[in-house]
């Protein structure tokens, strides 16, 4: 992996923050890199407060949406809450449904079947709304491109409110109301809410209209936190505030459904990475292997005994998902080895027998092995289309590529770095060719190599308990506020380095700083093969996160190493102001 330092911040601003906050220079540097340039932004960063959350009525169409929802309640209309089958969609539906259910009973929800209906609002879903007598449908985490489905609903006399956060098309659907901060005509000051974040803004607006205090909607933030983490939206501004309080709610008083899923690991405190790697896959597994409705059933269940039964079903779905995605990944890697050139800029693999529910996971796994924009497709017999997921590499806008070659695509939607798509069989070969050629045309050479961006350089003597206490307050971490990466040069093993783990794949060391003679424990996961390399070189450099290690009841600081280099010419020069 290539190492590079993050963009150099303005030295005058760094010094000003250092003196204003009375923090070490490195901490001030990290803050400025994250856009924290004055006392107020630092206050908001280190001490999020409820008044940092924006007025929901600043979202275009929010007043119209709330009026329509309250009118439906007054007239006892049936309200159908519709959501996508992934974590963001199912948590969004669960938030709005469980909130409204507290004071309104003529309510239903619908999650489309991934295999039979595909992503977004389906005609079957609209038919279900009509058959069950719904006069109002609220679509969450989807719908921004559903022109035909919205028109279909309108013809059936169903008003549709869209609450979506995906990139809108030039022409919006003819819905009753559209809540999407990314609308060009939306004045909302923050554009990066998750789908569940939109659902939360709806209940915030309704609760204000009903004269309720903020305490009434705090319990719903556990699900908002899960959605922000799982959907990889920026952890900045309002998202960071919602995530901050959401993690508090999750750790202090999670809803029964989450509590059941959390029992799989005994942890003192759940973090963003725990939500991404433990909770999200379990919630997602319902939509991948069965039906996302099962996830909503669990997340809205108030009874802990019933939640255990529902949670067990999701755990089984997750077991099946792990087995399935591993098998498909192995098959895909064989195809790449046999049929794709190492010089290609892209990976596109497809097989009629692959499970539609895991192709996105497989695409991400393939990027870990072959670092290039990747698409994994399977065949839908029902739709007679190749359907699947696209994933990108760091800093490369995949969505714009799909837009440029849209003539070869049946349908697509998503974000810059992840998308879903479908392709007609007769266009598949042309699509693959166009994808490769267009990515090759637009991708800079430096993006083809995975890289680690270094925030700052440290000597081991700089790593003190006080320094780490301040660093912990940078959490919660995520896009826009990633966990800081540090570089230390002139390290050497003190002779006790060894391979550890069940398969001896990890590396555990006691490293010494050649300058200060300070010593710290270090762990390098999946780098056991570098044992001889560090033993054969007097000095090496490492990039790492700072972490805590608990052993026999004692907590100590350790380096969680991301990469090691022994050749000086591979290590970037120290920035001017460090």
Q: What range does the domain containing 286 cover? A: 56-315
**Span 158-176, mean pLDDT?**
95
- Residues 371 and 472 occupy one common structural domain: no
- Domains held by the chain: number: 3
Span 62-87, average pLDDT: 97
Query: CB-hemisphere CA count at 13 Å for 209?
Result: 18
pLDDT at 320: 93
Q: CA 243, 248, 252 angle in degrees (round to 5)?
A: 145
- What is the per-residue pLDDT across 448-481, written as a single tens digit (0 to 9) for each? 989 999 999 999 999 999 999 999 999 999 988 9
The average confidence (pLDDT) of the chain is: 93
142 token code pair: 């989807």
Q: How many CB atoms lie within 10 A of CB 342?
A: 7
For residue 332, being part of any structural domain is answered with: no
Does residue 509 carry a pLDDT above 70? Answer: yes
Say if residues 76 and 194 touch (Cβ distance below 8 Å). no
**129, 225: one domain:** yes
- One domain for residues 272 and 352: no
Residue 266 has pLDDT above 90, yes or no: no
pLDDT of residue 577: 63
Token couple for 557: 């600081």
Q: Are 146 and 173 within 8 A, CB to CB?
A: yes
Asked if 100 and 199 sit in the same domain, the reply is yes
- Do 547 and 510 meet the contact criterion of CB atoms below 8 Å apart? no
Torsions phi, psi of 481, nearest 5? -150, 60
Query: Are 192 and 67 part of one and the same domain?
Result: yes
What's the N-to-C CA distance of the chain in angstroms? 23
Residue 506 lies in a domain: yes
H or E, element range at 510: strand 506-513
- In whole angstroms, give the CA distance from residue 392 to residue 374: 6
Domain end among 428, 448, 468: 448
pTM, full prediction: 0.89
Q: What is the pLDDT of residue 391?
A: 95
Question: What mean pLDDT do residues 227-244 have?
Answer: 94
228 and 143 in one domain? yes
Q: What is the mean pLDDT of residues 89-104?
A: 97
Residues in CB range of 570: below 8 A, 6 or more apart: 3
- Whether residue 155 is predicted with pLDDT greater than 90 in this model: the reply is yes
- Examine the domain organization and report whether 460 and 426 are in the same domain: no
Q: Which of 413, 433, 448 is the last residue of a domain?
A: 448
pLDDT given at position 572: 87
Of 64-78, 107-121, 192-206, 392-406, minimum mean pLDDT range: 107-121
188: CB partners within 8 A, 6+ apart: 54, 58, 59, 60, 181
Same domain (yes/no): 382, 460? no
| CATH number assigned to the domain comprising residue 460 | 2.40.50.460
Least confident range from 212-221, 230-239, 547-556: namely: 547-556
pLDDT recorded at residue 578: 60
Please give the share of the chain, as a percent, with pLDDT higher than 90: 78
Cα torsion 280, 285, 291, 294 to 10°: value is -60
Q: Is the predicted pLDDT of residue 265 greater than 90, yes or no?
A: no
| Domain annotation covers residue 287 | yes
pLDDT at 539: 87
Dihedral sign for Cα atoms in the order 541, 547, 550, 554 = positive
Quick one: pLDDT band at residue 228, thresholds 50, 70, 90?
A: very high
Q: How far is residue 540's CA from residue 560's CA, in Å, rounded to a whole number?
A: 15
CATH of the domain at 143: 3.90.1640.30
Q: Does residue 305 lie within any of the structural domains?
A: yes
- Give residue-wise pLDDT tens across range 434-451: 999 999 999 999 899 899
Whether residue 48 has pLDDT greater than 70: yes
**Residue 326 belongs to a domain:** no
Give 253-264 pLDDT, tens digit per residue.
999 999 999 987
| Residues contacting residue 532 through CB under 8 Å, at least 6 positions apart | none
Q: Judge if 75 and 171 occupy the same domain.
A: yes
User: Tens digit of pLDDT for each residue in 284-311?
Assistant: 999 888 889 999 999 999 999 999 999 9
Q: What is the pLDDT of residue 414?
A: 77
CA distance 361 to 366: 9
Question: Who has greater pLDDT, 571 or 409?
Answer: 409
Confidence at residue 373, expressed as pLDDT on a 0 to 100 scale: 96
Mean pLDDT of 349-356: 94
| 515-566 confidence digits (pLDDT tens) | 667 789 999 998 888 888 888 777 899 999 999 887 777 888 999 999 999 8
Residue 516: what pLDDT? Answer: 65
**How many CB atoms are closer than 10 A to CB 263?**
11
In a domain, 24, yes or no: no
31 has a pLDDT exceeding 70: yes
Are both 502 and 438 inside the same structural domain?
no
Query: Which of 422, 448, 474 is the last residue in one of the domains?
Result: 448
CATH number at residue 373: 3.10.310.30
Q: Are residues 359 and 478 in the same domain?
A: no
Name the band, by pLDDT with cuts 50, 70 and 90, for residue 496. Answer: confident
Residue 67: Cβ within 10 Å count: 12
**Joined tokens for residue 134:** 């719904």
Same domain, 74 and 187: yes
Distance (Å, rounded) from C-alpha 328 to C-alpha 136?
41
Q: Exposed, middle or buried: residue 368 (CB in 10 Å: 0-12, 13-18, 19+)? A: exposed
In a domain? residue 122: yes
| Position 188 in a domain | yes
- In the three-class reduction of DSSP (H, G, I as helix; E, B as strand; rest coil), residue 349 is classed as strand
């Amino acid at each position: 992996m290539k190492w590079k330092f993050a963009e150099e911040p303005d030295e005058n601003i760094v010094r000003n923050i250092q003196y204003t906050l009375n923090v070490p220079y490195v901490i001030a540097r990290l803050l400025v890199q994250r856009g924290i340039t004055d006392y107020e932004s630092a206050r908001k960063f280190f001490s999020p407060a409820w008044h940092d959350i924006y007025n929901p009525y600043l979202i275009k169409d929010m007043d119209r949406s709330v009026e329509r929802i309250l009118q439906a309640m007054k007239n006892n209309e049936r309200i159908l809450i519709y959501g996508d089958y992934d974590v963001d969609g199912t948590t969004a539906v669960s938030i709005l449904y469980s909130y409204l259910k507290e004071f309104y009973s003529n309510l239903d929800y619908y999650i489309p079947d991934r295999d039979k209906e595909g992503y977004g609002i389906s005609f079957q879903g609209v038919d279900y709304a009509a058959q069950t007598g719904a006069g109002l449908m609220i679509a969450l985490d989807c719908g921004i491109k559903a022109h035909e489905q919205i028109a279909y609903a309108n013809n059936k006399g169903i008003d549709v409110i869209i609450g979506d956060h995906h990139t809108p098309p030039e022409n919006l659907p003819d819905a009753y109301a559209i809540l999407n901060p990314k609308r060009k005509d939306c004045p909302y000051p923050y554009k990066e809410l998750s789908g569940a974040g939109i659902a939360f803004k709806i209940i915030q607006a309704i609760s204000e209209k009903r004269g309720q205090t903020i305490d009434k909607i705090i319990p719903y933030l556990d699900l908002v936190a899960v959605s922000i983490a799982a959907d990889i939206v920026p952890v900045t501004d309002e998202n960071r505030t919602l995530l901050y309080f959401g993690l508090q709610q999750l750790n202090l008083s999670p809803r029964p459904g989450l509590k059941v899923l959390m029992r799989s690991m005994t942890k003192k405190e759940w973090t963003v990475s725990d939500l991404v790697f433990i909770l999200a896959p379990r919630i997602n597994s319902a939509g991948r292997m069965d039906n996302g409705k099962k996830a909503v059933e669990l997340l809205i269940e108030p009874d802990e005994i019933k939640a255990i039964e529902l949670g067990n079903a999701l755990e089984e779905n997750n077991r099946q998902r792990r087995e399935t995605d591993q098998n498909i990944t192995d098959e895909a890697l064989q195809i790449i080895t046999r049929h794709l050139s190492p010089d290609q800029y892209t990976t596109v693999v497809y097989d009629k027998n692959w499970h539609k529910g895991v192709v996105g996971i497989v695409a991400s796994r393939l990027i870990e092995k072959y670092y290039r924009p990747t698409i994994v497709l399977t065949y839908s017999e029902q739709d007679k289309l190749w359907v699947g997921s696209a994933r990108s590499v760091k800093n490369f806008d995949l969505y714009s590529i799909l837009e440029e070659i849209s003539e070869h695509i049946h349908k697509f939607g998503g974000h810059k770095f992840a998308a879903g798509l479908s392709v007609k069989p007769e266009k598949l070969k042309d699509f693959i060719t166009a994808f490769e050629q267009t990515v090759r045309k637009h991708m800079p050479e430096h993006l083809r190599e995975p890289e680690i961006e270094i925030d700052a350089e440290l000597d081991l003597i700089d790593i003190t308990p006080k320094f780490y206490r301040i660093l912990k307050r940078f959490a919660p971490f995520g896009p826009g506020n990633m966990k800081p990466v540090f570089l230390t040069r002139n390290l050497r093993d003190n002779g006790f380095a060894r391979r550890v783990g069940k398969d001896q794949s990890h590396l555990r060391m006691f490293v010494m700083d050649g300058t200060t003679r300070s010593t710290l424990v270090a762990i390098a996961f999946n780098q056991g093969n570098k044992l001889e390399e560090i033993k054969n070189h007097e000095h090496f450099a490492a990039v790492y996160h700072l972490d805590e290690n608990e052993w026999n009841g004692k907590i100590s600081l350790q380096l969680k190493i991301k990469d090691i280099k022994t050749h000086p010419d591979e290590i970037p020069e120290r920035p001017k102001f460090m």
